[in-house]
A and B are shown apart, each in its own frame.
Chain A
Amino acid sequence: MPDTLGLAAIVTKFALYLGVMTAAGTVMATLMFRLDRTRGLAAAFAVLGLTATILAFSLRGANLTGDLSGMTDPEMLGLLWTTPVGTALLLRLVGLGLLIAGLFMGRVGAWVSALGGVVAIWSFDHVGHISSRDTTLLDIALTLHLLTVALWIGVLTPLKRLASIPDTFNIAANVGHRFGVVATVTVPVLIIVGGYMGYQLVGSFTALIGTGYGQALIIKVLLIGALLGLAAANKLRFIPALRAGDPAAASHLSKSISVEWLVILAVLGTTAVLTTHLTLPT
């Protein structure tokens, strides 16, 4: 089991993933599907992402001294700043800052926010298991993986909201249909790059079965499988029924999205354990 600091690092990482991915995904989905009233949602998750960014950086300082004093130790934090961890911190602060600023800038702002979201997501290329491999293909794979995941997460809450009010059932059907079309490209990309990264990082079937890292990856893949099942039900049953004017489909869609959210939280939690606590098989 991780110690208290290790546990805090995992929880903070989870909040970081949730904040950055949901904020970036919300502004991307808003731009792509011309959604309304998503500003509060994007802002709230961007603030969560910013808070977690700072806390995660500070906790790394504590890891260097072994006690809480490291969280505010200027020497430790200054030292971290000179490493790729500092670069990632800068990209996250700038990215999420742009994202929030864009929310208050009218039409152009949507593009500023989306750019900020991409910068914040790109920060994940600078730290962790992928960056240490130093291959451009893996970097591209990770960025594509995160962008497609973010868009998926970003569309969920606005779609659920649209499917909760009878007046907007037709908009929900329309957005759901268009996301379904986009997903025929993004979901295969997500699976292919995810498989590629998993193969590059774990490397063998023995390591997949026999190491904690491999086992956590199996849990993640099983959860993604459940998510794909839910998404398929939405795309093939509930969205077509909603488009045909069946009001019961709206409540099915809404419930299905709630379950999707729970599975996504489990996926992000598993990922936080993978990237924080577990070492790669060697």
Chain B
Amino acid sequence: MKAILLAGMIGIWATGAMAHSPLDATTPANEATVTEMPTEVLMGFKGDIRLTRVVITHAETHSMDMDLGEQTAFTQEFALPMHDMGAGTYVIEWRGLGVDGHALNGSFSFTVE
């Protein structure tokens, strides 16, 4: 009985997708390839959210926390200034809080040629 329950639980955990990713669109788009480093990244959400942490990783080596000092409201559109770290893939991992109190998170990436 215990084994069946445990197997069931593990099965459920495994199939449960990571909760709540209401990111509507980004510029550059997810997995896009661009020729020039953008000066800022735009993130548009389906609902109001307050970003709480954004980490940018360049070419799987350099990670940096973005300064969110000026993002102090619940809103749908964010423009985050980018630092040019050269060509390669940039992965942006974000965390935030929805107005309903739900923690939200997700990630997207783009490549600079």
Stretch at the interface among A31-39, A60-68, A240-248: A60-68
> What separation, in Å, do the CA atoms of A215 and B15 have in the docked complex?
10
Q: Which of under 10, 10 to 19, 20 to 34, or 35 or more describes the interface residues of A?
A: 20 to 34
Asked if B19 CB lies within 8 Å of chain A CBs, one says yes
**In the complex, are the beta carbons of A279 and B95 less than 8 A apart?**
no
**In the complex, are the beta carbons of A127 and B12 less than 8 A apart?**
no
> What separation, in Å, do the CA atoms of A133 and B98 have in the docked complex?
15
Of B16, B93, B95, B99, most A-chain CB atoms within 10 Å: B16
> What separation, in Å, do the CA atoms of A278 and B17 have in the docked complex?
7
Asked if B70 CB lies within 8 Å of chain A CBs, one says no
**In the complex, are the beta carbons of A66 and B13 less than 8 A apart?**
no
Question: Do A83 and B99 contact each other (CB < 8 Å), given the known contacts A64-B53, A66-B53?
Answer: yes
> What separation, in Å, do the CA atoms of A63 and B96 have in the docked complex?
9
What number of residue pairs across chains A and B have CB atoms under 8 A from each other? Answer: 77
Asked if A216 CB lies within 8 Å of chain B CBs, one says yes
Interface string of B8-20 (1 = CB under 8 A from A): 1111111111011
**In the complex, are the beta carbons of A2 and B13 less than 8 A apart?**
yes
What chain A residues lie within 8 Å of B75 (beta carbons)? none
Asked if A219 CB lies within 8 Å of chain B CBs, one says yes
9 contacts between A and B (CB under 8 A): A65-B52, A65-B95, A66-B95, A83-B98, A127-B101, A212-B12, A212-B15, A215-B8, A215-B12
The chain A residues found within 8 Å of chain B, CB to CB, are 1-2, 60, 63-66, 70, 76, 79-80, 83-86, 88, 127, 131-132, 211-213, 215-216, 219, 266, 269-270, 273, 277-279
Q: 9 extra interchain contacts, Cβ-Cβ under 8 A, other than A273-B13, A278-B16?
A: A60-B101, A63-B95, A65-B52, A83-B101, A212-B12, A216-B12, A273-B9, A277-B19, A279-B19
